[in-house]
Amino acid sequence: MLEKIAHKNGKKQVKKADSDSDSGSEGDEVADLPSMMSNPGAQPKARNSVSAEAFGKYHVKEVYTAKVVKKSEENKSKIEARLQQAFMFKALSKEELDIVLDAMEERAFKAGDTVIKEGDEGAVLFVVESGELDCVKQIDGVSKHLKTFEAGDAFGELALLYNAPRAATITAKTDACLWELDRSTFNHIVKDAAQRKRDKYEDFLASVPILQSIDNYERTKISDVIKECNFEKGAQVIAEGEEGTVFFLIISGQAVATKMMPGASEHTEVMQYKTGDYFGELALLKDAPRAANVIAKTNLTCATIDRVSFQKLLGPLDQILMRNMEAYQNYM
Question: What pLDDT score was predicted for residue 225?
Answer: 80
Residues 247-272: pLDDT tens digits? Answer: 899 999 999 999 988 877 788 899 99
Instruction: Tell me the helices (H) and strands (E) count for the chain, helix number first.
Output: 9, 20
Comparing C-alpha atoms, which of 25, 195, 5, 180 is closest to residue 94? 5
Domain 21-38+69-191 matches domain 226-331 at the CATH topology level: yes
Q: How many CA atoms lie within 13 A of 69 on its CB side?
A: 19
Q: DSSP assignment, residue 258?
A: E
CA distance 238 to 18: 39
pLDDT above 90 for 12: no
Domain boundaries, the chain: 21-38+69-191, 226-331
Flag whether the pTM goes above 0.75.
no
Write down the pLDDT at residue 159: 80
CATH 3.30.505.10 fits 226-331, yes or no: no
CATH topology of domain 21-38+69-191: Jelly Rolls (2.60.120)
Q: Is it the case that residue 30 has pLDDT exceeding 60?
A: no
Q: Note the pLDDT tens digit of each residue in 291-304.
A: 899 999 999 999 99
For the stretch 274-293, pLDDT in tens is: 998 989 887 777 778 898 99
Percent of the chain with pLDDT over 70: 74
Residue of higher predicted confidence among 87 and 263 = 263
Using alpha carbons, list the distances in angstroms from residue 92 to 51, 89, 190.
Answer: 18, 6, 7
Q: Are 76 and 69 in contact (CB under 8 A)?
A: no
Q: Residue 175: which H helix or E strand, with range?
A: none
Helix axes 94-103, 73-83, angle to 10 degrees: 120
To which H or E segment does residue 102 belong? helix 94-103
CB-CB contact of 127 with 186 (8 Å): no
Q: Give the per-residue pLDDT at 13.
A: 44
